[in-house]
Amino acid sequence: MPIKKLIRHPLTFLIVLCLGIGIYKIAMLACVSNDSVTFMQFAQELKTTPGSSIRSFDQHPGYPAIICASEWVFGKMGYDRTLEQRIIAAQIATLMCRAIAICFLYTIFRFFGNKKTALVAATLVMLIPVYANNGSEVLSDWPNLMLMTIALFFCLRGLRSVNHLCFLAAGLASGAAYWIRPEGAVFVGVMGIYALVHTFSRSTNKFQLWTCLGTMVVTAALIAGPYMHYKGALFPKKKVGTFSRVNGTQASCLRLCGDDGLGCPACDRSTPTVLQHGSEACVPLKNTFLRERLPIKNISQHPIQAGIPGFSIAARPVKAILHFVEKLFNTIFGFSIPLLGILLYKMKRFRRFRRLRRQDQFLILFTGLWLGLMVWLHCKTGYMSHRHIMPLVVLGFAWILKGLHGLVLVFGTKRMHLHRNTAVLLGICIAIFVPKLIRPAHADKAVYKQAGLWLRDNTPAESTLAVFDGRVGFYAERAYQPLNRTATLKQGYVIIKAADESVVLPETALPIATGQANIDKVIRIYAVGTGKDETADFTD
């Protein structure tokens, strides 16, 4: 391709803009997130003890493996593997995944419109502030979305040409996405629903369609199967579809204790035991099923049911949908209205599903399936974040300009002024994005990094920290434990707590002043100086 055409190509513009925003966000990052700390620690342990680290960490190993590869490349380039350089290597890896995802998003958007609409939609995706932050942090969202977009691209390409190689590539991408986040393999399910719907269509070659589906499923299963078998669950993090070997046979993991009360002991993942809820505590049982305890923080302890029977259960999906809409507005602001409008319009046309274009059919099925997953997630765990709705939001931008056109027409705009007024509305929405886009991520947590660096320079290397936030211990590069409600503290421990926390400290705990006003104003540091164990009790 001639250099002039390459420079003028939309992908060149998108890559340059993506890298520019990413480098700016990396330079302006005030402090990493807690999930970033987990991924960095996972990557470190994955190098030395891969088996035990995969079993012990709650996150999935795909993204930490990418971090390890990035650190290896940086090491070959002559960089020392200091903490700061390891963080930058992980951030660069995430940014590269984001750039690749944006390129595939543009090609996907081309299935739904011309070059201009695809370019505008891909540019808007890059300008979403919260996802721009994620693209420059040590988080798995963009690596997962990169593989999802690759799978979707090959699915759409394969449906157009009925090419088995495309579905082979889609299966490879979906299987790899499972190692990063299991829901990343969603397009295997979407393809299955698509094949099922078109089984009753006369115009479809059913044999070719089902062989394409089989190619994708088998390929994805071969890639994802080993991890699924190793963790013993379909969705390991959410404990869904759990299976385990009991007495040499495959058995379903059943929760024998339905209370999940405070008396239930936590499960030891390395030595799983069978538990049943007793009158005061959980007692182990032999020759029966494995029971895993759900997190207490998201479960009401022995709730008292009141009001209309079954009403609270029926209201959960409604509450989940309202929470989804709330997260959508908090993520893309003014674009929420046209995006919701076009999604509802497309879902309404489901009655005439077979008359729609293949790409519209496929994206409608994905929208319905992903929204169902989000409702299920909220009903099961009680929460939903902007990271969970990210694939639906990003891929929904394939229809965003149609949604903007529809919104403009609602206000009675003449068709001759449609494009002008749509551009004005587009500019207003982008103007809302820009101030939030240039704001440094986690600026309010910058003091955590400063405190950690101070502790690294002013505490012995063998000291252990008891921290209220793991990021302090991470930046301090010291062994640390969370400062729970009761924390047993030994000689040489250093207590780091927030200034507004009410804590009854050991008598031998001596305050330490850092001499930096911004740290001492927010964080309190104490050293435990006795040789015996002490206990710090938190009070509400």
Query: What does residue 488 show for φ and ψ, rounded to 5 degrees?
Result: -80, 120
What is the secondary structure of 117-137 as a DSSP string?
A: HHHHHHHHHHH-HHHHHHTTS
What is the secondary structure of 350-401 as a DSSP string?
A: GGGGGGS-HHHHHHHHHHHHHHHHHHHHHHHHS---TTTSHHHHHHHGGGHH
Q: Mean of the per-residue pLDDT values for the chain?
A: 79
Residue 4 is predicted with a pLDDT of 66
CB 81 within 8 A of CB 71: yes
- What confidence tens digit (pLDDT) does each residue in 343-387 have? 777 766 666 776 788 899 999 999 999 999 999 888 888 888 899
Closest CA to 292 of 329, 321, 254, 327: 254
CB 407 within 8 A of CB 432: no
Residues with Cβ within 8 Å of 147's Cβ and at least 6 positions away in sequence, in order, are 173, 174, 176, 177, 180, 184
- What confidence tens digit (pLDDT) does each residue in 264-283 have? 444 443 333 444 333 333 43
Residue 216 is predicted with a pLDDT of 96
Residue 27 is predicted with a pLDDT of 94
DSSP 8-state class, residue 267: P
Alpha-carbon span 503 to 236, nearest angstrom: 36
Alpha-carbon span 352 to 359, nearest angstrom: 14
Residue 103 is predicted with a pLDDT of 96
Parallel/antiparallel/unpaired status of strands 534-538 and 275-277: unpaired
Residue 484 is predicted with a pLDDT of 65
Alpha-carbon span 437 to 434, nearest angstrom: 5
Alpha-carbon span 107 to 110, nearest angstrom: 5
Closest CA to 58 of 266, 238, 240: 238
- What confidence tens digit (pLDDT) does each residue in 152-201 have? 999 999 998 888 999 999 999 999 999 999 999 999 999 999 999 888 77
CB 117 within 8 A of CB 140: no
Closest CA to 438 of 38, 16, 20: 20
Alpha-carbon span 106 to 122, nearest angstrom: 6
DSSP 8-state class, residue 44: H
| Residue 35 CA to its chain's centroid (Å) | 9
CB 512 within 8 A of CB 526: yes
DSSP 8-state class, residue 497: E
What is the secondary structure of 277-336 as a DSSP string?
A: E-SSSEEE-SSS----PPPGGGS-SSPPP-SSTTHHHHHHHHHHHHHHHHHHHHHHGGGH
Residues of the chain with pLDDT under 50: 243-311, 530-540
Map residue 172 onto helix, strand or coil: helix
Amino acid identity of residue 12, one-letter, is T
Alpha-carbon span 195 to 185, nearest angstrom: 16
Give, rounded to a whole angstrom, the gap between the first and last alpha carbons of the chain: 67
Amino acid identity of residue 228, one-letter, is M
SS3 content of the chain, % helix, strand, coil (to 5): 60, 10, 30
